[in-house]
Amino acid sequence: MSQTPPFDPTDPVALAQALIRCPSVTPDEGGALALLESVLAAEGYAVHRPVFGEPGTADVENLYARIGMESPVFVIAGHTDVVPIGDAAAWTRDPFSGEIADGALHGRGACDMKGGLAAMIAAALRYRRDNPDAKGSIAFLITGDEEGPAVNGTVKLLDWAHRRGERFDHCLLGEPTNPAAMSDMIKIGRRGSLTGKLTVNGRQGHVGYPHLADNPIRGMVRLLAALDAAPLDAGTEHFDPSNLEVTTLDVGNPATNVVPAQAKAVFNIRFNDVWTPQTLAAEIERRLREAAGNTVRYEIAFQPTNAVAFLTQPGPFVAMVGDAVEAQTGRRPALSTTGGTSDARFIKSYCPVVEYGPVGKTMHQVNEEVALADLVALEAITHRLLTTYFAATAQA
């Protein structure tokens, strides 16, 4: 039988502080999921802790919890794993102390995303305490593998739940979506990500005898220029234009008088809903073929990706989230698809998903923090959203 936590879990600051004190650096559970299991079980949730793994990866602990047996099922999703702290000496405070100072909660994961997750859990618990007989169900999908390879976390947890017969209607994911204030931004989609590794082959030789060598750098410059010569697209209604960035360029040559044998580059494309990974790779290959002609010898390889572009179409659910934010903050948030990838890319295959969470100014940084006022606001926004969501269900 789970023990009652030594604090009120409907207090978002107290719950976030307790989570930060768990050193759950990917893939270590660090006590964070055990803490949430005790919190949720004490509130009447049925809690499961599946562990997933596969060869070449670390086993990862996850958590699924649900209260209620009726539809609709409102899902709150998130992760308890955090990125490494880096240089501990660079931190002003112990990154796992959960210290409160200057109106903020400090520590690794404060805004990404233990603070957001805690506020949403606190709101859900308060809602059920106030409405014990409410129709509908609330479920939690919480992983320990979002900041890592993301192969033994949400993607497998969703499949596990689906095979058990669980069905979801809508999902709120608590990533730190707001750039500067809690009224700024709701994410209704995400760009995809595709990484390519380009190798140009030449012939090593003495720089004083260039006719005996073949410098691959010239070919690499030509190919990269071709990839960047024309925009991939002009963007869509809800997405910016797709963007290609060269992230590494190297010939591995320590000598100044030697023509290198190879040049290697890596590029990453954040793409919109014009493309799939397959169609985008085909376009990149076409551009390379045309630029290379019969003179540049090259190889291109694309890393496997599960990061595809997706969009939750604006509609009643998106509007409901916006209404809750506006009612609390006084300002309507923008709808956005910017930023990196998130576990929403997996959830979207099971139900509509929207992302909304704390201000993300310090995520992954030294001295990560979240304003106490933002946690309180997020709890109030989530509580308002749940109230409106299930009230609409009761009237339907």
Q: Which of 11, 37, 61, 81 is catalytic?
A: 81
> Is residue 299 annotated as part of the catalytic site, yes or no?
no
In a domain, 6, yes or no: no
The SS3 of residue 279 is helix
Q: Among 260, 282, 302, which residue terminates a domain?
A: 302
Q: Is residue 76 part of a domain?
A: yes
- The question of whether 146 is a catalytic residue gets the answer yes
The reply to whether 139 falls in a domain is: yes
The CATH number of whichever domain residue 253 belongs to comes to: 3.30.70.360
Which strands, in side-by-side order, build the sheet including 262-271? Answer: 243-250, 262-271, 192-201, 297-302
Residues 183 and 222 in one domain: no
Does 341 lie in the same domain as 260?
A: no
> Counting Cβ atoms within 10 Å, is residue 131 exposed (0-12), middle (13-18) or buried (19+)?
middle
- As a dihedral over the C-alpha atoms of residue 282, residue 285, residue 287, residue 291, rounded to 10 degrees, the angle is -160
Spot the catalytic one: 61, 99, 112, 146: 146
The whole-model pTM stands at 0.91
**Do residues 334 and 280 share a domain?**
no
| Domain of 268, in residue numbers | 197-302
329's torsion region: left (phi>0), alpha (psi -120 to 50) or beta?
alpha
Query: One digit per residue, pLDDT tens: the chain, 396 residues?
Result: 456 678 999 999 999 999 999 999 999 999 999 999 999 999 999 999 999 999 999 999 999 999 999 999 999 999 999 999 999 999 999 999 999 999 999 999 999 999 999 999 999 999 999 999 999 999 999 999 999 989 999 999 999 999 999 999 999 999 999 999 999 999 999 999 999 999 999 999 999 999 999 999 999 999 999 999 999 999 999 999 999 999 999 999 999 999 999 999 999 999 999 999 999 999 999 999 999 999 999 999 999 998 999 999 999 999 999 999 999 999 999 999 998 889 999 999 999 999 999 999 999 999 999 999 999 999 999 999 999 999 997 675
In the chain, which residue ranges form alpha helices assigned H by DSSP? 12-20, 32-42, 115-130, 154-163, 216-229, 277-292, 316-329, 344-347, 372-395
d(CA 195, CA 67): 40
